Amino acid sequence: MELLSNLALGFETALTPTNILWCFVGTLLGTLVGVLPGIGPTATIAMLLPITFNFEPVTALIMLAGIYYGAQYGGSTTAILINLPGESSSAVTAIDGYQMARQGRAGPALATAALGSFFAGTVATFILAVAAPPLARAALNFGAPEYFALIVLGLLVSISLAHGSVLKALAMIVLGLLFGMVGQDIYTGTPRFTFGQPELFSGINFVSMAVGVFGIAEILRNLENERERDVMVKKVTNLWLTREDFRRITMPVLRGTLFGSLLGVLPGGGHILSSFASYSAEKNLSKHPEEFGKGAIEGVAGPESANNAAAQTSFIPLLTLGIPAHPVMALMVGAFIIQGITPGPNVINEQPALFWGIIASMWVGNLLLVLLNLPLIGLWVKLLTIPYRVLFPAIVVFAAIGCYSINMNAFDVFAIAFFGIVGYVLIRLGCEPAPLLLGFVLGPLLEEHLRRAMIISRGDPTIFVTRPISATLLAIAVLVVIFAMAPSIRKKRQAIFVEED
């Protein structure tokens, strides 16, 4: 009964005309950025954060959440039509989806992606509604040492799941932590790393950094090597499935939903991992594995269900613990903070309408996405022909205006340019900006809980290992580092042995 009353509160909040409107705007924008390769939800949310400053908190977060899971839908369109995933999690969809399009079955492929995504998103949102409250209640037992250990674990897990060098990912975390220390000391008010600039006394503007590192840097990278896009299908027809198609996709959709729901909570790339795991499972379970890679509809149904389920359940650690599972969730943490809300287990008690409104809006958003994606396929196909050199200057201008409007300070615009160059250089050096953003967002929280724990223990650092929950989390963090380093250590040892021989 408590769950039903909470969901009733959530739908009452989500179904107000204003929230429905901005949920629609968010899902529409999300689909758009998913369709247009090279932009992505991270850059889009970063650049749209400024306009949410004057919104009601629940309205702002509903729109930003809609952009994220809308992009998971939209990414499948380019994956199927031009073999160019709009989202990294849609890369697996391109394998069989594009082959289906080449065989004249783009319509069924797109319908499979939309319907599988809708089902998976609906189920995963229900899981979020059921699992979030008990996790939030458990998190209320956390003190400063436990939160410090949890944040350390979150940062180290993000390092272990980085695509490139573990050392580079660690360096990005440390750089993010250093950027997070800029400003006045949280206890003494002493300026740190401000170089005499009054604008830095309150710290680096989160929006400027996010827009620069993700938005501007990504635009520079795409302009450097613009890819030719050849749309496979000029007009998509037959947007419905046969009875045989329904029979073939039923179990892949169910299994993909399970994979996404479980793996979505993992920090790093749970939505990407779940889509790959789903595709691998479907290929191994299929009676005709030779069809995979040649247009198997199961190869579209499973991964699309998995990445959309993961998009919903990735909100679980954010809403219950205040810990972002990946860069988009780190931006959502920033949105909470901009709205004056501390993300974490207290939100469910202090802001129940916001907490349950976000969850209920996901059901609304998933329904809107089905209504948007299939009828507007023709529009998405036309958008794929827009050159980047025309599209991106407009994006940069609106991002700069939006960022300036928050504090009416030109310094924030210069900060966008600075972090854009920093982000571009990091990309060129093979470093991932995502750990940097996680370090920047979690750095002040890490410092605050560390210092609070040391004050409680009167300077005794053993408080972190004498408390069971904290000690367990730190032990897991150590295992994560060992697990992350093991492959590189093994390779080095093998190289040494080869040299000795």
Contacts from 152-155 at CB under 8 Å and sequence distance 24+? 152/446, 152/473, 152/474, 152/477, 153/473, 153/474, 153/476, 153/477, 153/480, 154/267, 154/317, 154/323, 154/324, 154/438, 154/442, 155/435, 155/438, 155/439, 155/442, 155/446
What residues form DSSP beta bridges with 192? 183
Whether residue 384 has pLDDT greater than 70: no
Report residue 9 as tokens: 């509160």
Most confident among 337-346, 389-398, 442-451 (mean pLDDT): 442-451
pLDDT value at residue 381: 67
More confident site: 263 or 273: 263
pLDDT value at residue 75: 72
d(CA 334, CA 341): 10
Whether residue 123 has pLDDT greater than 70: yes
The mean predicted confidence, pLDDT, of the chain is 78
pLDDT value at residue 122: 85
Average pLDDT of span 251-278: 77
pLDDT value at residue 394: 74
d(CA 97, CA 198): 53
More confident site: 387 or 320: 320
pLDDT value at residue 158: 66
pLDDT value at residue 473: 84
Range of weakest confidence among 14-18, 131-135, 391-395: 391-395
Whether residue 493 has pLDDT greater than 50: no
**pLDDT single digits (tens) 211-221:** 788 778 877 87
| DSSP symbols for 244-256 | HHHHHHHHHHHHH
Q: How many separate helices (H) and strands (E) can be counted in the chain?
A: 23, 2
Whether residue 500 has pLDDT greater than 60: no
pLDDT value at residue 150: 79
pLDDT value at residue 488: 56
Whether residue 230 has pLDDT greater than 70: no
pLDDT value at residue 262: 80
Residue 54's SS3 state is: coil
Name the pLDDT band for 497 (thresholds 50, 70, 90): very low
d(CA 344, CA 326): 16
Most confident among 94-103, 283-292, 302-311 (mean pLDDT): 302-311
Average pLDDT of span 174-191: 84
- Residue 30: phi and psi, rounded to 5, are -60, -45
Whether residue 313 has pLDDT greater than 60: yes
d(CA 260, CA 124): 8
Q: Which amino acid is at 319?
A: L
Report residue 270 as tokens: 């749970």
Radius of gyration (C-alpha) of the chain in whole angstroms: 23
d(CA 445, CA 455): 15
Most confident among 152-161, 269-278, 459-468 (mean pLDDT): 459-468
Q: Following CA atoms 152, 156, 158, 162 in sequence, which dihedral angle do they give, to the nearest 10 degrees? A: 160
Name the pLDDT band for 388 (thresholds 50, 70, 90): low
Domain borders along the chain are 2-101+133-500
Whether residue 271 has pLDDT greater than 70: no
Average pLDDT of span 121-150: 80
Max Cα–Cα distance, the chain, nearest Å: 73
pLDDT value at residue 429: 85
Residue 362: name the closest of 68, 148, 34, 41 by CA.
Answer: 68
